[in-house]
């Protein structure tokens, strides 16, 4: 029966990976795979287990308890993401991101490359790499009219956005998963992954500056400084970004799950949004005082724009991986990896997982979605919180996807917005992304070894 489970999981995984070829949204195979796996477990009465991370062994459990346990952990991530998405949409409702364009006042390509890369790196750490890419590619379309040149800049934005998302607990779905699952703490993640992420962003830029396409100045005149459509645009931008940054501090102080802090931040941002919009609307009811004012509510408008297909995809894939974890299959697979993969001389440093395994995970995230890869790793490795392995996984999974245009959410959205060809990216940008990934990984290993040997 375990063979059937694996076949179903692999088939669903392939359907997710080939969504562009099959013309089927990846949420469909994810949800179907999840439901079928748990149905098989229930109908065949397969034994389920809970991984005891302290004793590093499997403890028998009941399917109802395990499903509720995994649903609770998944819901924490999804509610957190819903809150963050809503805040970002509220900022966009007030045209707050137009404020960023005011910082772009140069025509020199090299300066523009540094500016866009740094903005992508910083913004992705706050509003996540996907949203940062959307914002910056939108600005890019207004600044650079030459489409060929714009494609190069878009590719570099993807690399920088993924690098920026890797070191922040709120910068990428995978790092958020590790943070919420208590695999890493915010400060330790930043301390260990920030420098490698900077290297992952800077090295490709330094290489790219030698290319002829990034030399000289852009043609045409720069557009006049864009004024936000709302007078509260800048205020909502800073308030929204600040409220998201506040969440890790809230968790550190209260020790409550991150989604609680995100809900508080959403409540604060939504309050100011309602005040500024002068709309009399209640978020908890669909009975408006006046139908004519309902569509003016920034909260209602923002909630209607949330990307629910992504939320449902995360629900399906995380619970599907949880099924394999509950059967003990991921735990057993981790044992096989420990026995077969060379440790590359890291036993003396106290690391329990081969660096090669984590690097392969990073490369794999360029081919298949990094969310299930990280979800699987959380079920495979029974290692304590803030172990260097978790930090390395956060870096590899976050930045490895840059090597292919379909390897990350940032890449996929840039591909859609600019109609970037898969093979064009493979030929022009993949090498730069690979150099950055390898340089950052080498930097992480070097710093880790120096710290552990100190």
Residue 342 CB neighbour total at 10 angstroms: 10
Supply the pLDDT for residue 179: 92
Instruction: Confirm whether pTM is higher than 0.75.
Output: yes
Q: Rounded to whole angstroms, how far apart are CA atoms 190 and 198?
A: 11
Residue ranges of domains in the chain: 2-52+61-453
Q: Rounded to whole angstroms, how far apart are CA atoms 154 and 137?
A: 6
Q: Rounded to whole angstroms, how far apart are CA atoms 273 and 217?
A: 40
Helix (H) or strand (E) segment spanning residue 181: none
Higher pLDDT, 314 or 285: 314
Residues 167, 124 contacting (CB under 8 angstroms): no
Gyration radius of the chain's alpha carbons = 22
Average pLDDT over residues 205-223: 83
Supply the pLDDT for residue 374: 85
* The residue count for the chain: 454
Q: What is the secondary structure of 280-305 as a DSSP string?
A: ---TT-S--S-HHHHTT-HHHHHHHH
Q: Rounded to whole angstroms, how far apart are CA atoms 446 and 299?
A: 47
Quick one: tokens of 192?
A: 């260990």
Q: How confident is the model at residue 232 (pLDDT cuts 50, 70, 90)?
A: confident
Residue 140: closest CA among 127, 155, 153: 153
Site of tokens 């990216």:
425
Supply the pLDDT for residue 56: 56
Q: Rounded to whole angstroms, how far apart are CA atoms 311 and 81?
A: 8
Please give the share of the chain, as a percent, with pLDDT higher than 90.
34
Higher pLDDT, 134 or 228: 134
What sign for the dihedral angle of Cα 326, 330, 336, 339?
negative
């Amino acid at each position: 029966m375990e063979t059937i489970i694996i076949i179903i999981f692999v088939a669903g995984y392939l359907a997710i990976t080939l969504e562009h070829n099959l013309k089927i949204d990846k949420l469909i195979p994810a949800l179907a795979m999840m439901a079928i796996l748990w149905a098989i477990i229930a109908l065949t009465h397969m034994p389920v287990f809970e991984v005891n991370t302290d004793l590093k062994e499997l403890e028998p459990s009941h399917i109802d308890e395990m499903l509720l346990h995994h649903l609770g952990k998944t819901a924490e991530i999804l509610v957190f993401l819903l809150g963050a998405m809503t805040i970002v949409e509220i900022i966009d409702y007030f045209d707050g991101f137009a404020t960023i364009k005011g910082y772009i006042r140069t025509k020199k390509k090299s300066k523009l490359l540094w500016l866009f890369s740094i903005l992508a790196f910083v913004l992705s750490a706050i509003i996540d790499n996907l949203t940062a890419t959307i914002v910056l590619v939108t600005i890019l379309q207004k600044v650079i009219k030459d489409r060929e040149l714009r494609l190069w800049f878009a590719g570099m934005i993807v690399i920088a956005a993924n690098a920026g998302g890797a070191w922040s607990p709120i910068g990428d779905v995978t790092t958020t998963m590790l943070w919420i699952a208590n695999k890493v703490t915010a400060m330790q993640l930043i301390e260990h992954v920030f420098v490698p992420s900077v290297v992952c962003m800077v090295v490709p830029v330094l290489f790219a500056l030698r290319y002829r396409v990034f030399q000289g100045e852009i043609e045409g005149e720069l557009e006049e400084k864009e004024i936000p459509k709302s007078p509260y645009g800048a205020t909502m931008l800073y308030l929204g970004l600040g409220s998201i940054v506040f969440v890790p501090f809230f968790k550190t102080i209260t020790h409550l799950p991150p989604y609680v802090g995100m809900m508080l931040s959403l409540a604060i941002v939504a309050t100011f949004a309602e005040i500024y919009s002068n709309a009399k609307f209640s978020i908890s009811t669909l009975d408006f005082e006046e139908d004519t004012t309902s569509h003016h509510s920034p909260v209602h408008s923002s909630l209607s724009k949330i990307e629910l297909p992504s939320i449902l995809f995360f629900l399906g894939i995380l619970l599907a991986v949880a099924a394999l974890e509950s059967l003990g299959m991921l735990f057993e697979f981790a044992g096989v990896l420990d026995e077969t993969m060379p440790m590359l001389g890291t036993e003396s440093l106290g690391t329990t997982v081969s660096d090669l395994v984590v690097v392969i995970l990073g490369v794999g995230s360029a081919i298949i979605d990094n969310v299930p890869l990280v979800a699987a790793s959380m079920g495979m490795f029974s290692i304590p919180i803030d172990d260097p392995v978790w930090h390395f996984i956060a870096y590899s999974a976050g930045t490895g996807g840059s090597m292919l245009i379909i390897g990350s959410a940032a890449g996929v959205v840039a591909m859609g917005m600019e109609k970037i060809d898969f093979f064009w990216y493979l030929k022009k940008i993949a090498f730069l992304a690979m150099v950055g990934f390898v340089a950052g990984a080498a930097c992480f290993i070097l710093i880790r070894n120096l710290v552990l040997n100190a």
